[in-house]
Structure 1
Amino acid sequence: MIIEKVINNNIVVSRNQASNEIIVVGKGLGFKKKINDPIDESLVEKTYVITNEWNVNKLTDMLLDIPLEHVQVANEIISFAKVSLGKKLSENLSLTLTDHIHYAIERNDKGMELKNALLWEIKRFYNHEYLIGKEALNIIESRLNVRLPEDEAGFIALHIVNANLDMDEVGQVAEMTEIIQNILNIVKYHFKIDIDEYSLNYERFVTHLKFFTQRLFSDTRLDDLETVQFMLKIKEQYQNEFSCALKINDYINNKYDRDLEEDELIYLTIHIRRITNIK
Structure 2
Amino acid sequence: MKMQVERIINNNVVSAFDSKGKEVLVMGKGIGFQAKRNKEIDQELIEKIFYLDTQTEVDKFKKLLANLPLEHIQVSNEIITYADETLGRKLNPNIYITLTDHINFAIERFQQGMLFDNPLLWDVQRLYRREYLIGEYAVALIGKQIGIRLPVDEAASIALHIVNAEYSSIMSETMSITKIIPQLVEIVEKDFEITLEEQSLRYDSFITYLRTLMQRIVSREQLDGIDQEFNDMVKKLYPKEYGCSRKIADFLTEHYPDIVLAEELAMLSIHIRRLILGTRGKE
TM-score bracket for this pair, using the shorter chain length: 0.7 to 0.9
- Cα pair distance change 1:44/1:189, threshold 3 Å: same
- Cα pair distance change 1:32/1:270, threshold 3 Å: closer
Task: Give the aligned length.
Answer: 275
Q: Contact conserved, 2:4 with 2:18, CA < 8 A, in 1?
A: no
- The Cα of 1:218 is off from its aligned counterpart by 2.8
Deviations 1:14-62 (A, max 9, x none): 2112212223222111213322332112212333346243353x43321
Counterpart secondary structure, 1:272:
helix
Partner residue of 1:222? 223
> Percent of aligned pairs with the same residue?
42
Partner residue of 2:49? 47
Deviations 1:177-228 (A, max 9, x none): 2232221123334455433334454333223212212222332232634x53
CA distance in 1, matches of 2:208, 2:61: 35
Q: Contact conserved, 1:108 with 1:148, CA < 8 A, in 2?
A: yes
CA distance in 2, matches of 1:171, 1:47: 29
CA distance in 1, matches of 2:201, 2:45: 48
Matched, 1:262 2:266: no
Give the letter aligned to residue 206 of structure 2.
F
Give the letter aligned to residue 246 of structure 1.
R
Q: Contact conserved, 2:9 with 2:65, CA < 8 A, in 1?
A: no
Partner residue of 1:181? 182
Deviations 1:216-256 (A, max 9, x none): 2332232634x534422432454443333222222222211
Counterpart secondary structure, 2:254:
helix
Give the letter aligned to residue 245 of structure 1.
S
| More deviation, 238-247/14-23 | 238-247
- Cα pair distance change 1:205/1:11, threshold 3 Å: closer
**Structure 1-normalised TM-score?**
0.88
- The Cα of 1:258 is off from its aligned counterpart by 0.9
- Cα pair distance change 1:275/1:13, threshold 3 Å: closer
CA distance in 1, matches of 2:75, 2:205: 34
Q: Contact conserved, 1:122 with 1:177, CA < 8 A, in 2?
A: yes
| Unmatched tracts of structure 2, length 5 or more | none
CA distance in 2, matches of 1:199, 1:74: 31
| More deviation, 234-243/262-271 | 234-243
CA distance in 2, matches of 1:13, 1:234: 55
Pick from 93, 99, 103: which aligns with 2:95? 93
Q: Contact conserved, 1:179 with 1:213, CA < 8 A, in 2?
A: no
Q: Contact conserved, 2:224 with 2:264, CA < 8 A, in 1?
A: no
- Cα pair distance change 1:17/1:199, threshold 3 Å: same
| More deviation, 210-219/123-132 | 210-219
Give the letter aligned to residue 222 of structure 1.
L
CA distance in 1, matches of 2:58, 2:76: 21
Matched, 1:212 2:213: yes
Give the letter aligned to residue 182 of structure 1.
Q
1:115-264 mapped onto 2 (5 Å cutoff): 115-165=117-167, 167-191=168-192, 193-222=194-223, 224-225=225-226, 228-264=228-264
Give the letter aligned to residue 76 of structure 2.
A
CA distance in 2, matches of 1:110, 1:177: 29
Counterpart secondary structure, 1:101:
helix
Partner residue of 1:271? 271
Partner residue of 1:14? 16
CA distance in 1, matches of 2:66, 2:223: 44
CA RMSD between the two structures:
2.3
- The Cα of 1:74 is off from its aligned counterpart by 0.9
Q: Contact conserved, 2:57 with 2:94, CA < 8 A, in 1?
A: no
Q: Contact conserved, 1:71 with 1:98, CA < 8 A, in 2?
A: yes
- Cα pair distance change 1:201/1:63, threshold 3 Å: closer
| More deviation, 129-138/231-240 | 231-240
Matched, 1:111 2:122: no
